[in-house]
């Protein structure tokens, strides 16, 4: 649930690009054959007609997997299962190392994003770790 809600709210891929095959009118805007359009999947992920309080991170959503973060249709992401598995593993390890409630965003700070237009990724997030959690933190074993 947490992985899906994270993908919905902060999708690494912000939009997909398509070439129009047939002229059409969408919300009073004429779109001609051959034109390239951007479908903002990240915006659709926050559609208030679909999601209650769309800008909030809520792992208790009923249908978290309805997001478009892996695209849609014939070009749906072929690596989605691997990506989901990797994200879940990373989250599991993180939660083993950092006890819930002991990590918080540093007051007064803001996250920094990577300087890209189509991809979303954090370049830096300043956080504070409670001392009790820090003492118990150990690096994962690298023994085979
Ligand atoms: C969180 C991680 C990932 C996200 C958010 C993501 C997102 C996407 C999106 C939105 C598309 C659709 C592009 C379009 O419609 O134009 C796509 C396509 C694709 N993705 Fe991913 N992807 C991720 C991870 C991966 C991984 C791990 C692989 C490979 C192991 C992969 C391989 C592909 C390929 C090959 C396509 C093209 C599929 C096609 O055109 O038929 N992706 N991905």
In this structure, the residue with its CA closest to atom 40 of ligand 1 is: 75
pLDDT in tens, 53-109: 999 999 888 766 689 999 999 999 999 999 999 999 999 999 999 988 899 999 999
Report the pLDDT value the prediction gives residue 140, as an integer from 0 to 100.
60
If DSSP codes are grouped into helix, strand and coil, which group holds residue 7? helix
What is the number of domains present in the chain?
2
Q: Residue of the nearest CA to atom 7 in ligand 1?
A: 70
Residues 24 and 88 in one domain: yes
Phi/psi of residue 48, each to 5°?
-70, -15
The model's pTM: 0.85
Instruction: Single out the residue in 67, 82, 97 at which a domain terminates.
Output: 97
* Helix, coil or strand: residue 95: helix
- Summarised one tens digit per residue, pLDDT across range 19-47 is 999 999 999 999 999 999 999 999 999 99
| Structural domain includes residue 88 | yes
pLDDT attached to residue 143? 63
**37 in the same domain as 6:** yes
pLDDT of residue 130: 83
Domain-embedded: residue 126: yes
Q: Give the pLDDT of residue 39.
A: 94
For 39, the domain range is 2-97
Same domain for 109 and 91? no
For residue 76, which atom of ligand 1 is closest to its CA?
Answer: 12
* Tally of CB atoms within 10 A around 143: 4
CB-based contacts of 19, cutoff 8 Å, min separation 6: 34, 35, 36, 37
Give the DSSP letter string of 76-112. Answer: --TTHHHHHHHHHHHHHHHHHHS-TTSEEEPTT---E
In a domain? residue 130: yes
Residue nearest (by alpha carbon) to ligand 1 atom 28: 79
């Amino acid at each position: 649930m947490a992985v899906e809600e994270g993908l919905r709210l902060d999708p690494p891929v912000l939009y997909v690009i398509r070439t129009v095959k047939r002229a059409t009118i969408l919300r009073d805007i004429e779109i001609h054959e051959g034109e390239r359009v951007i479908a903002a999947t990240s915006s659709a992920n926050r559609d208030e007609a679909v999601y209650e309080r769309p800008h909030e991170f809520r792992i208790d959503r009923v249908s978290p997997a309805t997001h478009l973060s892996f695209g849609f249709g014939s070009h749906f992401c072929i690596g989605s299962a691997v990506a989901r598995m990797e994200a879940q593993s990373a989250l599991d390890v993180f939660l083993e190392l950092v006890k819930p409630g002991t990590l918080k965003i540093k007051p007064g700070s803001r996250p920094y994003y990577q300087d890209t237009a189509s991809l979303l990724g954090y370049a830096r997030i300043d956080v504070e770790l409670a001392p009790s959690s820090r003492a118990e933190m150990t690096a994962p074993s690298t023994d085979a």
